[in-house]
Structure 1
Amino acid sequence: MFDNLDHAKMTALAVAYGKRGRLRLAASEDVMTGTLARIIAAYREQWPEVHFDLLELPAIAQVRALQRGRIDLGLMLPPVEGPAVISDPVWSEGWLVALPKAHRLARRTHLQAVDFVDQDAIIGHAERGPRCGRHVLDLLDTLHVNVRIIAEVEHLQTALMLVQSGAGITFVPGSLADVSIAGIV
């Protein structure tokens, strides 16, 4: 009987300290990068007895899911807004511009904000899309650099497909630098 009680106590402590049990994690599309893959791999190696659930959700939906107790942790680009939501930075990285291979800026290795004046840009939908492009556009706006938003998309893959088609440019997390997509630099 005491062995069972000790086992139950150890199990409860393991769950309380995150060594056993279930972790319900949500992540927005723009943080689904190689960096997150390395973090997940390290977590799974360190705590193999924790069952890991991953749900892809846009930031606004993550905040609602956190408030309703549907997820334990959300990963998204800032800003994080909502009552009773605590946010801490996990990692940071730079931004890249994805250009069609035939774009006039495609052969240049260093670009400045003024290079983007009047460019056609594809960005994430305000509520359901990746936030990475909006962060860059906010920065460009503070520098008085105006771009033309030609499309608001729900998925980074859609933005990259439009870049591939020659429709415009988009901004992506820096960890995608090692990803090769035909027709895009």
Structure 2
Amino acid sequence: MLALDHRVLRQFLAVAERGTVRAAARALNMSQPPLTAAIRQLEERLAVQLFERSVAGMALTEAGQELARDAAAILGRLERAEARLREIGGQTQPLRIGFVSAALNAALPALLRGLKAKGQPLPKLSELSTPQQVEALTLGHLDVGLLHPPVAQPADFESRSLGLDPFCAALPADHRLARRTSLRFSDIAQEPLVLFPESQGPDLYRRIRSLVREAGGDFQVAAEAKRLHSQMAIIAGGLGVGLVASQAAANLRFHGVVTVPLTDTKDRLFVELELVALGSKIEALLAMLGQQS
């Protein structure tokens, strides 16, 4: 009997992703004893320990991490092969599209209009963080990603930048700087900030912290919120100043908040959006978005 097949790999990944046999068995809709036995048999066949077991759960060993990467790639390629065969057989499947919130401003609406104009089935949409999209693309659970680079590109996929969106300052409407037509970053470096959680965009967060310190400010975070609407509400309440992508600011008018362009940070303070898709599909998707390859 082969040590590895797609069923065993799916079981292994379920345990690896969820950290306990109980949670993995529930996700796989099976009972715990056969799943526990399957994982132990896999380790015996491979003659290597894949998990460190403790009261807290199961953590991957170095060998387990290596197998998890390979298993994700193998299962993803199987999913994509099945999809291509269905297409050859004339079965047009809905595209599974993942997107970050920045894609809501222009890219996602343009892509949906393009798919509708081509008579494509209604896509399946999932709002996911960039790491979540990369994992789903690798596993074959998504066909298209609209995400923030840089990312480790899954096998068989290609990526194209959809452009940069510089940030502007978002101020309470009664703020002393709210009537200005433009600002330098040093104008707001001493202000308490309303930001997204650092884990949501660590690279951008680091850039903001560096800019504050370079401008002689003391990096102060008054509040954090995952969603732009939540950030805007906190800013409107006067707790601090925010930093918002210009395109998002233009599309979202929030009562009590004024946005002002920043003139000296366009090359350092921006959000980039990237399209990731199978190489066979990316040119058609770019055409829908009005982009040149």
TM beyond 0.5: yes
Query: Closer, same or farther in 2 for the Cα pair 1:137/1:126, shift >3 Å?
Result: closer
Shift of 1:175: 1.5
Counterpart secondary structure, 1:90: strand
Q: Does the CA contact (< 8 Å) of 2:185 and 2:211 recur in 1?
A: no
User: Could you tell me which amino acid in structure 2 is paired with residue 180 of structure 1?
Assistant: R
**Pairing 1:21–2:93 present:** yes
Helix, strand or coil: the match of 1:109? Answer: coil
In structure 1, how many angstroms separate the alpha carbons of the residues matched to 2:137 and 2:127? 13
Aligned residue in 2 for 1:91: 163
Higher RCO (CA 8 Å, separation ≥ 6 residues)? 1
The alignment partner of 2:94 has SS state of: strand
- Correspondence 1:141 to 2:210: yes
Q: Out of 238, 246, 253, which is 1:180 matched to?
A: 253
Task: Flag the 1:40–1:125 CA change in 2: closer, same or farther, 3 A.
Answer: same
| Alignment of 1:165 onto 2:165 | no
1:66 equivalenced with 2:142 (yes/no): no
Partner of 1:122: 194
| 8 Å contact from structure 1 (residues 35, 175) kept in 2 | no
What SS is found at the alignment partner of 2:145?
A: strand
Report if the CA contact (8 A) 1:66-1:74 is conserved: yes
User: Quick check: 1:155 aligned with 2:227?
Assistant: yes
**Which runs of 5 or more residues in structure 2 are unaligned?**
1-84, 259-293
1:165–1:140 Cα change, 3 Å: same
1:51 match: secondary structure: coil
Q: Distance in 2 between matches of 1:154 and 1:138?
A: 18
RMSD: 2.9
Q: CA offsets, 1:103-149, max 9 Å, x none?
A: 1211111111111212211222233x4x4x96376156257134412
Q: What is the aligned partner in structure 1 of residue 88 from structure 2?
A: 12
Say whether the 8 Å CA contact 1:25–1:74 is kept in structure 2. Answer: yes
Kept after mapping to 1: 8 A contact 2:234/2:240: yes
Larger Rg: 2
Is the counterpart of residue 56 in structure 1 residue 127 in structure 2? yes
Structure showing the higher helix proportion among its residues: 2
In 2, Cα distance between the equivalents of 1:14 and 1:95?
45
Q: Is the 1:26–1:74 Cα contact (8 Å) retained in structure 2?
A: yes
Amino acid across the alignment from 1:56:
E
Q: Which sections of structure 1, spanning at least 5 residues, go unmatched?
A: 1-8
State how many pairs are aligned. Answer: 169
Counterpart amino acid of residue 51 in structure 1: L
Normalising by structure 1, we get a TM-score of 0.76
CA contact 1:95–1:173 (8 Å) conserved in 2: yes
Distance (Å, rounded) in 2 between the aligned partners of 1:91 and 1:13: 36
